[in-house]
Amino acid sequence: MKIGIDRLSFYTSHYYVDLKTLATARSVDTDKYYVGIGQEKMAIPSPDEDVVTLAASAAYPLMAAGDLEDVELLLFATESGIDQSKSAGIYVHGLLEMSSRCRCVELKQACYSATAGIQLAIGFVARNPTKKALVIASDVARYELGSPGEATQGCGSVAILVSANPRIMAIDPECGYYTEDVMDFWRPNYRSEALVDGKYSTMVYIHALVESWKQYAELTGRSLTDFDRFCYHIPFTKMAEKAHQKLCRKTKVDVDAEQMRALLDESLRYSRITGNCYAGSMYVGLTSLLDSCEEDLAGKRVGLYSYGSGCVGEFFSGVIQPGYRSVLFSDQHRNLLENRTELTYQQYEDIFNYGVPTDGGDYVFPQYKTGAFRFSGISQHKREYESLVE
């Protein structure tokens, strides 16, 4: 029985900052961002958006299409949690008007947790072939103003429906994974911005990739030449390119610049103009690949590498299914990305410094451009959400 990704929907904020603007404010050459890290824009959530509204907006097209009716497991993957106890997924479950017969859990392990969710969902569907699981990765990547990581900020969510006989991608059963206790990136409870050792994190990312690939290759007997495309975790697009180059060198596979573009470029397009989406990052890449690739990928195998600092890495793969294009939300994704509002530097800094009030008071938030849902306020320490669906 094939199990894998049946639907895939992506959402990001309606606001962004062009990194040319940031470069001017930081008195650096624009090419430091455009070329050096391969990033052009970063999505900025409005004050009435958070991981819940991003997630619900990502999943709304599935709700509208009637694809959530058989979902009995909702896994919410994030490192931008909003409560120390209650899963953010419970709010999403309510906004999407899902059945009460549903397990709902929040998962955390830096940027890896969505892949953990996919693997758990596959196990659930294997036991319950007529049922489906919804995995939602939703995050806001945030670093201090003026810090080295500032230009890699972003936000977004990906809703992934897992089922038997999937219409988009059948996930192969073999995978390689690697865990090591390191401190390359972390965010203590008392901080709203992450801490990161960039050079060390790059080294650990690649080490976990090589180790997880070794396991995968041993289990499958496949080589890198057995894949038609690759999707990597994308903290910034140059990281994915660097990782694949390193893996090719380690496995003695020759690849030139043109081949690299053919293997990776389509998967990097969305991230280049939205920034890092943390847990959703690799799946933003997969969405970008499926939406952007002119070639029919049916029957093609895609290599997938998921990495979460701290750290866990996993290499796995999937085969694109015949007719996959008929169930994509490509037009909606393009329309969203092409109709966003650019922020000035001052607007960006004002939003950055806004912050959700933490004094326990009651607040009503003004409405900005959002998706189908918004974070409308706080009352008696409770977050309140509003549906904009008519």
- Residues with a known catalytic role: 79, 111, 233
| CA-based nearest residue to 179, from 281, 277, 77, 306 | 306
Q: Which of 185, 55, 75 is nearest to 124 (CA)?
A: 75
Q: For the chain, how are helix, strand and coil distributed in percent, rounded to 5?
A: 40, 25, 35
Q: How many CA within 13 A on the CB side of residue 238?
A: 13
H or E stretch at 364: strand 363-364
Positive or negative, the Cα torsion across 145, 149, 154, 157?
negative
Cα 83 from Cα 220, distance rounded (Å): 41
DSSP state of 278: G
| Alpha-carbon gap, residue 298 to 177, rounded angstroms | 27
C-alpha to C-alpha distance for 228 and 205, rounded to whole angstroms: 22
Report the C-alpha dihedral over residues 122, 124, 125, 126, rounded to 10 degrees.
80
CA atoms within a 13 Å half-sphere pointing along the CA-CB vector of 325: 9
The separation between CA 26 and the C-alpha centre of its own chain, rounded to angstroms, equals: 27
DSSP string, 132-184: EEEEEEEEEE---TTSTTGGG-EEEEEEEEEEES-SSEEEPS--EEEE----S
